[in-house]
Every structure is written in structure tokens, then in C-alpha cells.
Amino acid sequence: YNPPPVSRPARDLRPNVLVWMLDDVGFAQIASFGGLIDTPNIDRVAAMGLRYANYHTAPICSAARASFLSGRMPHSVNLGGHAAVARPIPGYSARIPASAGTIADNLGQAGYATYALGKWDHLLASESTPAGPFSQWPTGQGFDRFYGFLAADTDNFHPALVRDTTPVPTPSQPGYHLNRDLADQAIAMIADRRIADRPRPFLMYWATGTAHAPHHAPADWIARYAGKFDMGWDAVREAILARQKSLALLPAGARLAARPDGVPAWETLSPEERRLYAHQMEVFAASLSYADAQFGRILDALETAGELDNTIVIVVSDNGASAEGSRNGMWTEALLGRGRQASLDENLAFLDR
């Protein structure tokens, strides 16, 4: 008996899944949620689908990321806090149990190609060297390929990178920026799978360090925001609230909460303070806009290849906006490890850098 051949479509019709995991981006910073930062490609995704206005997440990156990837509460995968301060007790050891298969594990077993790029910030420091073990690395958590960094952040102009489980030389080409590199790598990985006669659908977890510190953007992108935030934080809050009402994200009668204790009225600040804070916001905004532009390149590549219509695109942030820079901000986040904040004069010395 010779059974008849099984007919199957010329290509696998199961949808691709593309996740952009943002970092420390607040609800009101994205344009399609009322923010004043230009994010046309996030807005493009929002226009094609749904915006969620009541999303819940863990309040710290390691926990949020492990929870998102495993579909479980953070403590149940031993990431009740940050992996950098793990403790040898249940719920806080930063060791994801083998029983908690990730979405990459599951889709990989179903025949998907699985890729992780960018930030992987739920790994014990003692296991983040080439000596391994690699069970908690992306390639040990269900991803076929990885290209990115293993810590909470990295220098976007001179990053410390790993490909799969091997460190790669720090990029040194002129004009380099990590987010453009991550988009280049993503586009290449998606294209490479098409070498097969019947390309597999893919899961891609594209996790930029943006907009976690350090806030790095090309100078021409920073220049686009010159003067945009000179109105100050009080006026910015009012403008965003009005935009959110117009988008029906908030009810018409919503009012701003009182300004937090310790945050002065903008009009009471010195000219030097206003200059510093407005420029810091310009750089933050440019960082997010530049990352959005690189994300748009991935969408464009999918559209050109005829795959965008068959791709589930998810844009999410690990947690909300971060106040770790305190009122003055910090010219270097390394000051956090020294237990002190940067002064106004210290920051002003680095204003043009």
C-alpha cells in the first residue's frame, strides 16, 4: 500500500510574530498615546491594530521580561526582583525553572524560527561570561539565534555585544549606532530563512535598550527636537493630557494629578536649569524617535517581502518611565553605583556631549 502524498501549501501560512520590547518607555511618551515624541512607525502599527490602555506589567525590567517571555508571574519564574540583586531564595534566585517554557520554546517546537536581538536583562552576572552555563541565555531559552547585550544597558555607540554565546568585537565604524545595527541584523535573519524552499514562520523578540539610559542618538536627530520642550514639564503635562482626551484614551473630565512633591513649578527654575532639563528631554526624544525609525525599517522589509500582512506585530514596554536620573538627570548612570546624584553644574559641563 502506497499512501497518497500529503498535499501542503507552497508556504507555511502560520503568522510570523514580531515583538518590539521597549525599555523604560512611559505610557504618555509615544505619539499614538498622546505623547509629544514622534513615533510614526509605532503609530503605524497602532493604526493597523489595537492600542491597549490598561496594560499591566511588573515595575522592573528583569521581572517584566521574564514574565512576558514565559507567560507567568515573575515570582513563579524566580524573578521577583532584578537579576543583578538575586538572592538564593524561592522567587528571587533569577533562575528560570526548566518547567517554565518560553514562547520561543513552544513556537520552536512547533517549527518556528526563533530570534532574540538586543537586551537580555534577566541573567545572573555570574553566568553572563563565555564560560557559561548557557541555560539561561537566549539560546538556552528557546531562541535559535541571539545578537545583543546581556546587561541592563550598554553604550549605543560602542556596545558590548554577543552573537549566540560568543562575544563579538566592539563595533568601531564611523557613525555606528546600536539600534541601526539591531535592525540590520533583524532584517538579515528574517531574509536568511527564505533560503529554504519552504521558509519557516518566525518569532522575533527585538528588544532595544531604548529608552533606558544611556540616552544616545545621532546629532542630527537631536537637532530635530531643538526647542520643542522649552515650554517645560508643566505645559508638557497639560499638552499630553489634552491629546489623550482627544484620542479617547482618557475621559473628557480627567484632570492632572498634583505635581509630585519635590518637583518645582517650571517657572520657578533658573535659566540654567531650564536649559539643561529641556535639552535632556530633546536627547531622550531623539533616542526614541531614532529607535522607531529603525523599527520602521524592519516593517518596510517585511512589507517589501510580502510578509507584513501575515505578521503579528506587538509593541510593548518592559515597565514605565524611569526616574533613576533624579531631578537633575545624570551625565553618566555610573553615578548610581556610587550612591550619589549629579549636580546641575556637573551635567551642564556635558551638555553638548
pLDDT band at 262 (very low <50, low <70, confident <90, very high): confident
Tens-digit pLDDT profile for residues 232-254: 999 999 999 999 999 999 999 99
Q: Give the DSSP H or E segment for 235.
A: helix 232-246
How far apart, in whole angstroms, are the C-alpha atoms of residue 114 and residue 344? 45
Alpha carbons 60 and 113: distance in angstroms, whole number: 29
- For position 323, what pLDDT does the model report? 82
Cα dihedral 259, 263, 268, 269 sign: negative
Residue 281 has pLDDT above 90, yes or no: yes
For 12, 109, 145, 163, 168, the CA distances from 113, given in Å and listed in that order, are 12, 9, 9, 16, 23
Helix (DSSP H) and strand (DSSP E) numbers for the chain? 9, 7
Residue type, 322: S
Q: Give the pLDDT confidence of 314-346 residue by residue, as tens digits.
A: 999 999 988 888 889 999 988 988 889 999 999
In the prediction, which pLDDT does 207 show?
A: 98
Q: Please, what's the b/e burial string for 102-136 (b: 16 or more CB within 10 A of its CB; e: otherwise)? A: bbbbebbeeebbbbbbbbbbbbeeebbeeeeebeb
Kindly provide the residue ranges of all beta strands, DSSP E only, lying in the chain, ordered along the sequence.
16-22, 113-119, 145-149, 161-163, 166-168, 202-207, 311-317
Q: Does the pLDDT of residue 61 top 90, yes or no?
A: yes
pLDDT, tens digit (0-9, with 9 covering 90-100), for 199-228: 999 999 999 999 999 999 999 999 999 999
* Beta bridge pairs of residue 203: 17, 114
CB 210 within 8 A of CB 287: yes
What is the per-residue pLDDT for 327? 86
What integer is the mean pLDDT of 129-154? 96
Residue 41 has pLDDT above 80, yes or no: yes
| Beta-ladder partners of 168 | 161
pLDDT at 9: 66
Residue 127 has pLDDT above 90, yes or no: yes
pTM: 0.95
List the one residue out of 279, 241, 337 whose CA is nearest residue 35. 241
pLDDT of residue 4: 74
What whole-number percentage of the chain has pLDDT above 90? 89
pLDDT tens for 45-60 read 999 999 998 888 999 9
User: Does the pLDDT at position 291 exceed 90?
Assistant: yes
3-state helix, strand, coil in the chain (%, to 5): 35, 10, 50
H helical segments located in 1-72: 40-48, 61-70
| pLDDT in the model for residue 146 | 98
The predicted pLDDT at position 8 comes to 62
Q: pLDDT by residue (tens digit) across 161-204?
A: 999 999 999 999 999 999 999 999 999 999 999 999 999 999 99
Question: What is d(CA 21, CA 187) in angstroms, rounded to the nearest whole number?
Answer: 17
**CA–CA distances in Å: residue 102 to residues 65, 77, 137, 236:** 11, 11, 12, 39
DSSP-derived 3-state class of residue 351: coil
